[in-house]
A and B are shown apart, each in its own frame.
Chain A
């Protein structure tokens, strides 16, 4: 079994901490992983993406082919659309609904939402609102990871929670708790709205 994932958003939104937690869990469970990141100039407020591949067999390419991606996890709605041509016909899009507007020609939200809905398997989730609801406003990315966990077949939610506990351990128990609350809220939302 394999799952090829594109993580995306805008530079600084925190897609790499999602990747770090998945990576921690994969290493622990003995799952093969390759994860290509973007560093340097393109990070400064521009679009960023990371190809994350999980498999129970050795992985060749660091990059995902068009039509091979199983799951897009996006912290920004238009950024999710930037990569849909990589998605296979049964692939999933899990995206935040709050736009990050730092360009003058950001498209109409209605057009963005329409095009997202056309993708078939879509979970649209306002991660910022849910993070605030569970008093974890700085953990919106963990809400998104929680939502993605509902379709992330290679790793179980408990394994990802263990990843959160370990990755955030150095920042203290309170931070671990808020991130876990955010993850659980995202997971519950997705289970109800799949």
Chain B
């Protein structure tokens, strides 16, 4: 039955997947992708348990779990933020080698302008490199419809499909009209069992096939109708838009764009359509949200007889999100008349919540480390990364999920002491546990601090994979139980906390300090839920 809903792009995609007969979603929380899985968890199917929707330990385990469901013939989806693609890259790239059985859709949510991320990598490059088709919706309605199309395409062509979203698509609401609900697939196994064993003898055959398949995927991108060639009267320029870039272009032409436009939402790059545009226009402008993938494919290395404008020649900014204003400049339009910017405003950076346990942990850690001139602290990804800002200035590095622990090992190897790692509970189980095994095996002289707030805080308080089992995990990996210490980060405990931290810094070997107090945001929520009962 058709109905209308006001949905975030993430939610539209999630609902589209449910209506397309999804049997399971796997994910690790990450802005701006988190709401996809949360929507499925809260849905009727999610609550009834008819669709798998528990969080996974990390993006690699998520990708592999979804691949397992696809092997069994059912429709599976994996969701992550763009940097999660790096974590699951091994599984992702090799899933093109195995191919899909039940429809398999990988959703990567990119974050141009780095609203909540450490880089603005563009996931379309992964699809290109893995020889996988990629879909990129330009509206919430398209996100809803395209995910069904992606599942159908995946099953028909026995290939996983990458769906690329960006922050502005993921976190913007619009009204979405839904269509009928499909049944889930029954279990059935692949017709091509050899390619699911990636021994070279099989993988070579599959690799040759993929190189042929990518040509038919490209033909589909020309003919399936998702990529649209929209003619215009002014041939002095043709415009290629990718995903939501189309909206920013049209915002500046409310009565229709005078230039021919090739609106791309499906890759591989449809070369025939691009050649048609180039043949009919004197120059080309490429407008893409993210990095200049299409522009690079057009330009190559050699000079071309046609002028190409885009992010590489400076017509559009080389980095950052697009918006209607940068398009105005690129199109040679004057800015709209507006108020002057105010002069008295000052920045208001994000900060750790008042009363947060990370604050008390950092206070105690700083108090101890001021006695050690050579101390270095390696931190990680989460709310506690805000401890780099005033007033704490509590650490020197933060790179990617899990790097705190392993960088502290390398620095200790180089002779740094104290070499301290700070990691959150969820990040520890995502990518820290294997590093701890390295530390134990080489008896590294490090102090690992797990700031355990019993949740995945930064993304809004999702369950954390190791809650209640962190000590056992450390014992199991081989840390001496005498040097697995638990402290409660509260102002009244500063003397005790500082004593424990100081003792463990002076222990020559691997120590783990678990600073455990529930996130005040989830604690409030839990208290409210309890009061309701």
What is the count of residue pairs linking A and B with beta-carbon distances less than 8 angstroms? 164
For the residues of B in contact with A, the DSSP-based class is loop
Partner of A65, one of B251, B340, B386, B459: B251
Q: Is the CB of A40 within 8 A of B344?
A: no
The count of residues in chain B whose C-beta lies closer than 8 Å to any C-beta of chain A is 54
User: Closest CB of chain B to A115's CB: distance in Å?
Assistant: 5
Q: Is the CB of B343 within 8 A of A87?
A: no
The CA of A106 and the CA of B348, in the complex, are separated in Å by 9
B473 beta carbon closer than 8 Å to chain A: no
Partner of B116, one of A36, A39, A79, A107: A39
Residues of A within 8 A of B254 (CB): 60
User: Closest CB of chain B to A65's CB: distance in Å?
Assistant: 4
Given A40-B31, A65-B325, A115-B344, are A34 and B174 also a contact pair (CB < 8 Å)?
yes
User: Closest CB of chain A to B185's CB: distance in Å?
Assistant: 32
B476 beta carbon closer than 8 Å to chain A: no
B244 beta carbon closer than 8 Å to chain A: yes
Q: Is the CB of B336 within 8 A of A42?
A: no
Q: Is the CB of B171 within 8 A of A11?
A: no
The CA of A119 and the CA of B339, in the complex, are separated in Å by 8
B32 beta carbon closer than 8 Å to chain A: yes
B115 beta carbon closer than 8 Å to chain A: yes
A174 beta carbon closer than 8 Å to chain B: no
Closest to A42 in B: B350
Q: Is the CB of B353 within 8 A of A88?
A: no
Residues of B within 8 A of A23 (CB): 6, 173
Which of A43-51, A129-137, A147-155, A186-194 touches B?
Answer: A43-51
Q: Is the CB of B115 within 8 A of A41?
A: yes
Q: Is the CB of A81 within 8 A of B340?
A: no
A1 beta carbon closer than 8 Å to chain B: no
User: Closest CB of chain B to A100's CB: distance in Å?
Assistant: 9
The count of residues in chain A whose C-beta lies closer than 8 Å to any C-beta of chain B is 53
B430 beta carbon closer than 8 Å to chain A: no
B130 beta carbon closer than 8 Å to chain A: no
Residues of A within 8 A of B494 (CB): none
Residues of B within 8 A of A34 (CB): 172-174
Q: Is the CB of A81 within 8 A of B344?
A: yes
Q: Is the CB of B115 within 8 A of A40?
A: yes
Q: Is the CB of A40 within 8 A of B459?
A: yes
Given A87-B339, A89-B339, are A61 and B350 also a contact pair (CB < 8 Å)?
no
Residues of B within 8 A of A107 (CB): 344-346
Question: What 1/0 mask marks residues of chain B from 305 to 327 whose CB sits below 8 Å from any chain A CB?
Answer: 00000000000000000011100
Q: Is the CB of B386 within 8 A of A44?
A: yes
Q: Is the CB of A44 within 8 A of B346?
A: no
Residues of B within 8 A of A38 (CB): 115, 171
- Identify which of residues 132-189 in chain A touch chain B, using a CB-to-CB cut-off of 8 Å: none
Q: Is the CB of B350 within 8 A of A46?
A: yes
- Identify which of residues 348-370 in chain B touch chain A, using a CB-to-CB cut-off of 8 Å: 348-353
The CA of A106 and the CA of B346, in the complex, are separated in Å by 7
User: Closest CB of chain A to B390's CB: distance in Å?
Assistant: 8
Residues of B within 8 A of A102 (CB): 348, 351
Residues of B within 8 A of A26 (CB): 6, 175
B335 beta carbon closer than 8 Å to chain A: yes
The CA of A133 and the CA of B347, in the complex, are separated in Å by 32
Question: What 1/0 mask marks residues of chain B from 235 to 248 whose CB sits below 8 Å from any chain A CB?
Answer: 00000000010111
Q: Is the CB of B248 within 8 A of A63?
A: yes
Residues of A within 8 A of B347 (CB): 47, 103
A62 beta carbon closer than 8 Å to chain B: yes
Q: Is the CB of A111 within 8 A of B353?
A: no
Residues of B within 8 A of A67 (CB): 335-338
Question: What 1/0 mask marks residues of chain A from 69 to 110 whose CB sits below 8 Å from any chain B CB?
Answer: 000000000110110111111010000000000110111000
Closest to A64 in B: B324
Q: Is the CB of A85 within 8 A of B341?
A: yes
Closest to B322 in A: A63
The CA of A162 and the CA of B334, in the complex, are separated in Å by 41
The CA of A40 and the CA of B323, in the complex, are separated in Å by 20
Residues of A within 8 A of B74 (CB): none
User: Closest CB of chain B to A143's CB: distance in Å?
Assistant: 22
Residue from the set B115, B339, B344, B386 with the largest chain A CB neighbour count within 10 Å? B339
Residues of A within 8 A of B500 (CB): none
The CA of A17 and the CA of B378, in the complex, are separated in Å by 38
Q: Is the CB of A103 within 8 A of B346?
A: yes
The CA of A41 and the CA of B389, in the complex, are separated in Å by 13
Given A33-B175, A37-B171, A102-B351, are A62 and B247 also a contact pair (CB < 8 Å)?
yes
Q: Is the CB of B251 within 8 A of A40?
A: no
Residue from the set A10, A37, A86, A112 with the largest chain B CB neighbour count within 10 Å? A37
Closest to B30 in A: A40
B328 beta carbon closer than 8 Å to chain A: yes
Q: Is the CB of B338 within 8 A of A88?
A: yes
A68 beta carbon closer than 8 Å to chain B: yes
Q: Is the CB of B344 within 8 A of A66?
A: no
Residues of A within 8 A of B339 (CB): 84-89, 91, 119
Q: Is the CB of A85 within 8 A of B340?
A: yes
Beyond the given A65-B252, A67-B338, A107-B345, could you list 5 further A-B residue pairs with CB under 8 A, ordered by the A residue number?
A19-B173, A78-B348, A85-B338, A107-B344, A115-B344
Contact surface of B with A, Cβ cutoff 8 Å: 4-6, 8, 31-32, 34-35, 115-116, 168-169, 171-175, 244, 246-252, 254, 323-325, 328, 335-353, 383, 386, 458-460
